[in-house]
Structure formats: C-alpha cells, structure tokens
A and B are shown apart, each in its own frame.
Chain A
Amino acid sequence: MRLVREIAKYRLGAVAVLIAVTIWFARTPHFFEAETLFGLTRQYAEIGIVAVGMTLVIATGGIDISVGGTAGMVSMLLGFLAVGHGWNIWAALGAAMICALGIGAVNGFAIARLGMEPVLVTLATMSLTRGIAYVLTQGTSLSLYSYDSFRAISSTDVALPGVSVPTPAIILLVTVAVAYVLLRQTVFGRQILALGQSEAAAKLAGIPVTRAKFQTYLLLSLLAGLAGALISSRSATAFADAGRNYEFEAITAVVLGGTSLSGGEGSLIGTLIGVATMAALRNGLALTGQSDLVRTQMLAVALIAAVVIDNARKKLIRGGSNT
C-alpha cells in the first residue's frame, strides 16, 4: 500500500507532466519524427548524465551549480591541449577529466570537510571554472573537426537487435544503471540517503558522512566533465560556453522527477523521465519557432513548477502519514 502511494506521488507525477507536454505539442509537425528525436537524444543524453549525478548530490541534501562551468572547462581544456599544444586528443581528454575531478575535489572538500554551504561553494567554482575556460583562449572557440575518432563518440549509433541507438544514449543508460545499483544496492547508496535524511543522525550512527559526501561531489564533477566531452564531440568544437544552463536543466529534471530538494531520497528513473520532459519541452518550443530567450524563460517557469509540485507532494505524504 505504502509502495503504491509512493509511486503515485512521485514517479507518476513526472510521467503526467511528460504526457501533458507531449500532448500539448503533439500536433506540431515533425514533433515525433525519428530524425528530430535522435538529434534530441544525443543532446539530452549529456544533460541526463549530469542529472544522474545531480540526483545523488541532491539526495545528500546538497546542490551543485558548478556543473555547467565544469563542462565548459573540460571542453575548452580539450581544445587548448589538443589543438593549441598538439597533444593526442585522448591524452587531452584524460587531462581535462582529471581537472574536472579536481573541481569535484574542491567542492567535496569545502562542503564535506570544511562544512561550507553547497550553494556558496559551487557558486564560487562555477565562476572559477567559467573563468578558466574563457582565460585559456580569451574566449575563442577551437575546431575539433579533424579528430574523427573523437567526433565518433557522439555521432555514431550502436546497433542493438532491431534498433540502432545513439551512442550517447547508451552512455546515459549505462550511467543510470550504475547509479541505480550504487544508490539502491550498495552501502554507499544507503549512506547517501541516510545522511540526506539527517546528517546528525547519520553521524551518530557511525556513517562516514564526510567521505560519502565528498565522493558524491567528486562523482558529479566527473559526470559533468563527461558531458563537456560529449558536447565537444557532438559539436566538433571546443568552446568555453559549453554546458551553459546545464545546472538549470539538470536541477529541473531531478526535481521534476520527484527527488526532493530537501534530501534523503533520490529517484533515478524519475530523473530520466524528468530529462525526457525537458527534451520534449525543448523540442516543442523549437519546432513552434520560439526563440532561445523564450526557451530560457520556459526553463525557469518549469523549475518553479517542479518545486511547487515537489512541495505539494511533500504535504500530501505528510498529510497521509498523519491520518
């Protein structure tokens, strides 16, 4: 009974919003065309990968708004090292990912070890990473067109029996699967959920709160870096603005998917549905000829709507358990 209520209260909420958005745009020509959907999948896989990590961070009761900056930094470092300094593209990728991990370590250390506020810390690293990304080439973007093997990551499909699926989508699905197991089946996942419920209680219960939090931020920055690499691969360009607004889209997707911003719970399937909703919204708005500016506004409205839904759900659950 409890399970039914849980499902009804959040997973289905996300599904309902997705269906509503889809119906709203259903009559728009080309909305369901395979080509549009595949292009969309490649792009939203990147946001989805970030959203998966964000789900874990939000489950700890934290937040990370430096993910877009980290993606931009990785993209620019790739170009800076490979194009500017003639590194092998994969070595450049490795170095850029290590820098992404470095940002995650800064976030994790400041938040978990020093006890600083996640908002403040990740606001600072957002500024830091964007700054680094721009400083590297004074803001000019670099073409990665000649690196065929690197471009292939994002442009190829993987042939599964019956269908061929864009590689980024496969990467996203693997990420979701790994995170799902991590959250539901491992000690680490239990620790995250416990400390998100009550950090004080988790500490008293002997849970290594600092380590678990640190690792969560590290993981998210790694995934943000991966998203940055995929963006560069898809657009065949290294540019400092890569990942702009990703923190926005990822947080919205997570909250739409029914993970509460107050921590202690995390639904990865919900996040996946949230990402699909964001993709459908984008697709619809683009096809109905709305400008990028309007899309940004709709994103803001969607974020507020997601929070309102989240609060309503929390009240429902609280009301339900009281009676």
Chain B
Amino acid sequence: MKGNPAGASSTSSPHRRAVLRELPLLLLLAALAAFFSLRVHGFSNAVNIGSIGRDTAIIGAMGIGMTFVVITGGIDLSCASILALSSSFMAILMQRTGGIVFPVAVALASSVALGAGNAFLVTVLEAPPIVATLATLSLYRVQAIQTVTLISDLPAGFRALGTGVGSFGLFALALAAGLAGLSRSSFGRHVLAVGGNLQAARLAGVRVKRTIGWTYAISGLCAGLAGLIASAMLNSVQGNMLMGYELDVIAAVVIGGTSITGGRGSVLGTAAGAAIMAVLRNGLIVAGLDVYWYQAIIGVAILVVGGADKLAARRMEAA
C-alpha cells in the first residue's frame, strides 16, 4: 500500500519520476522569485538575495536531517530547539574561552546528543515521534532560554561561517552528505526500507530501532550545523532564536516530495523546498506584510501540497 520499499532506487522509473518531481518545484521556485522581484521593490538586490541564500541554508540544513526522520515515518518537532540549545552551549564557551574550534565541536556534539535524546524516547521508551519531540521541543527550548538570554559579538573568525560563501559551503557539505547517505549507502537503503514496510525490513534483517534512532541523531546534527550558520549570520545567540522554524522545515520537506507516511523521500527536493520557503518568507516580509501572514501561509502550503500528493498517489494507485 505504501509503495515498494527496498530496492526502489535501483530501477529506472522511480529515477525518472524523481526528476519529474523536482522539475515543477524548480518552476514554482522560479515563478515565486520572478513574481517577488517584479512586484516587490528591493527583493532582488544583492543584500536581500544573500539573506535568502542564508535562510535557505538554515532551513535546508535542518530539512536534510528531517528528511531522514520523515522517511522512517517519524517527525522531529524539536529541531529548532536543538539548534538554539546547542548554539547556546557554543556561545557560552566562546564567551568564556574566546576559542572557536572547541566551542563549535561542543555545539555539534551536543546537537547529536540532543538528537540521541529523541532517539531514546522514540526507540527505547517507544513514545510516538510526534509526542516525544513535542515534549523535547519545549524541554530543549526552555533549557536554551535559561542558559542564554543574549550573547552577541562572537569571534571574528567564526563569523566567516555566516557569510555567503561560508553558509553555502556548510549547506553544500550537508547536502552532499545527505544525498550520498540516502541513495548510496546501506544505511540509506535501511532508512527507506524501514519507512516503506517496517515488518518486511525487520524480516530482511534490518536493525529497525537502531536505524530509526540514528535518523534522530542525524536530525540533531543537522540542526547543530544550521545553528552554526544562524549564529554566525546573526553574530549573536539567543535562547529563543529561530522559534517556530520547525514548521518551515517540515513544510520544506513536504513540499520537497518526501512522503509523511514514510518510505519515500528526496534530499534534493527538500533543498528546493527550503529555497521556496526562504523566498516566500523573505518576499512577504520585504513586501511589508506581517510575518504572521507567513505563518498562516505555511499552514495553507502544507495542506495544499500534502493534499495534492495524496490525490496524486491515489490516482496512481487506481491507474
């Protein structure tokens, strides 16, 4: 019922379908960008395009991790909170020691650990992903707010990560790792298999719980990475930074064509979805619309794309 799981990527037709799937996304992205640059003054200047690029990198980096989680049939609502908390640890260390490498290492390590916390709740305590990560969404966020109110003026060397080149480099790295991890490694095949049919994957010898657990750790790591970009870009860390961005990320993943029921997903699609969300967020704000409109529009976007996906799947099933 959920499509054929393992081995789906080795035949040619899903490949063609994947390309076809990406094409409308790029067209949509181009159309949105064209619309905003024609209608909204100041949308297409260099500064703004740079900020769209960095927004894409932040949402996209988190989205790559989220894609793995969603393919297993899970969800990670805590990603933006992990971003804030791991960045908070980093900022405190930077303030105390003045170093860069060690604080960054701590940020990444702690983001993996926080993701592992989700993995523990989901695989060992067997909490439904939505409930587990709803709980950690607020646990981690509150911890971040209690750890850091505002630390600004981060070391100059670190701020290079927030420049166009730096943030694009980090994002490209994550994208390459995500692409290779999903389609070229046995881990990626296990992730797809678990999401496609859990029982079949188990019978085929896939360590289901371990695979699922790792996806949450990866999502944590990606959030940590996005945190580096965000704090370098803002030149500050706040406990309440990027609150609510998990919705952008989920929307990017869903728009990118990853099925929320699991078993099917595209890292490239997520990257395109992230760019669409960044253009949308940015265009509406530059146009002078309330940022709250954007929140309402994300909701509609998720509903429309998710619904269209369901209808298309049903038609394919009937054919």
Contact = CB atoms under 8 A, between A and B. Distances in A.
A127 B294 CA distance: 9
A308 B290 contact: no
Given A131-B296, A261-B131, 7 more contacts: A128-B295, A131-B297, A135-B292, A297-B142, A297-B143, A301-B139, A307-B131
A138 B292 CA distance: 8
A60 to B, nearest CB: 15
A124 B303 CA distance: 6
16 contacts: A63-B130, A119-B75, A120-B302, A123-B250, A124-B300, A127-B295, A128-B295, A128-B296, A128-B300, A129-B299, A134-B292, A247-B134, A248-B138, A300-B134, A301-B135, A307-B132
B33 interface: no
Contacts, number: 125
Contacts of B250: 120, 123
Contacts of A301: 135, 139
A169 B298 CA distance: 36
Contacts of B301: 124
A106 interface: yes
A121 interface: yes
Interface residues of B, number: 42
A296 B307 contact: no
A127 B247 contact: yes
Interface of B: 75, 121, 125-128, 130-132, 134-139, 142-143, 145-146, 247, 250, 254, 260-261, 290, 292-303, 306-307, 310-311, 314
B197 to A, nearest CB: 16
B125 A304 contact: yes
B132 A127 contact: no
A134 B310 CA distance: 30
A123 B146 CA distance: 26
A97 to B, nearest CB: 20
Interface of A: 63, 65, 106, 110, 114-117, 119-121, 123-132, 134-135, 138-139, 247-248, 251, 255, 261, 293-294, 296-297, 299-301, 303-304, 307-308, 311
A150 to B, nearest CB: 26
State the main secondary structure of chain B at its contact with A.
helix
Contacts of A127: 247, 295-296, 298-299, 302
Which of A123, A301, A303 is packed against the most chain B CB atoms within 10 Å?
A: A123
Which of B131, B132, B294 is packed against the most chain A CB atoms within 10 Å?
A: B131
B306 A120 contact: yes
A117 B300 contact: no
A308 B295 contact: no
Given A132-B296, A300-B138, A303-B135, A114 B311 contact: yes
B209 to A, nearest CB: 14
Contacts of B125: 304, 307-308, 311
Contact of B142 (A117, A134, A293): A293
